[in-house]
Amino acid sequence: MFQTTLKVFEKIKIDDSIDERMKNLGLAITEKARRKGQTYTKGGQFWNRICQSIGFTYDTKARTLTYGANHVASAHKQYGGIISAPGKGEGSRHSKYLTIPISPISKGKNTSVFRKVSIKTFFFTSKKGNLILAMTPSSKKKMETLFVLKKSVYQKAQPYFPEGVELDAIVTRHLGGVPKK
């Protein structure tokens, strides 16, 4: 889950329109996040689910806007971090290893795809000590490496909520100033 709260502060013009402007700000931030999240999707449902979980609430008494995403992987995608096997989140197959595609034919697939079509595969350890899943070569082809298997990897951030200057510009456009975080 990922969540951020913005609070109105003294320098922002507080008048009868402040509640409406804060709600419009919430809509602008969450719509921007949805559009950016959709740029990461590769035809699957993962990013679609994250984007569907994006929302905001506005507390009129405290004048605070809280926005975020309630998908289990939303904060991880916003900030990056280590992922490990076996997985615990939505979509986890609880496998002993993460499978990282290293061949164009394995991109977007998992190891079960190759087992279903009766392709003969085998494991070996690389010189660097990585466990590799490869495809048995046909009579005219060299061996095709498919996946590196790892217990954990660092996954870089794929920020989709606006931050920094981009967020400040959206806030300024809607409120005329930047609120406290």
For the chain, the three-class secondary structure string (H helix, E strand, C coil) is: CEEEEEECCCCCCCCCCHHHHHHHHHHHHHHHHHHHHHHHCCCCCHHHHHHHCEEEEEECCCCEEEEEECCCCHHHHHHCEEEECCCCCCCCCCCCCEEEECCCCCCCCCHHHHHHCCCCEEEEECCCCCEEEEECCCCCCCCEEEEEEECEEEECCCCCCCCHHHHHHHHHHHHCCCCEC
- Range of weakest confidence among 59-63, 170-174, 176-180: 176-180
Q: What is the pLDDT of residues 128-165, one digit of tens each?
A: 999 998 887 666 667 888 999 999 999 999 999 999 99
Q: Is the pLDDT of residue 99 over 60?
A: yes
| 98 closest CA partner among 50, 88, 175, 156 | 88
Rounded average pLDDT over 20-26: 92
Q: pLDDT band for 111, please (50, 70, 90 cuts).
A: confident
Rounded average pLDDT over 19-38: 94
Task: Please give the pLDDT value at position 160.
Answer: 95
Q: What distances in angstroms separate CA 143 from CA 132, 133, 146, 167, one per listed residue?
A: 12, 11, 10, 49
Q: Is the pLDDT of residue 108 over 80?
A: no
Q: What is the pLDDT of residues 40-96, one digit of tens each?
A: 987 678 899 999 999 999 998 888 899 999 998 899 999 999 988 877 666 666 778
pTM of the model: 0.75
Task: Please give the pLDDT value at position 148.
Answer: 93
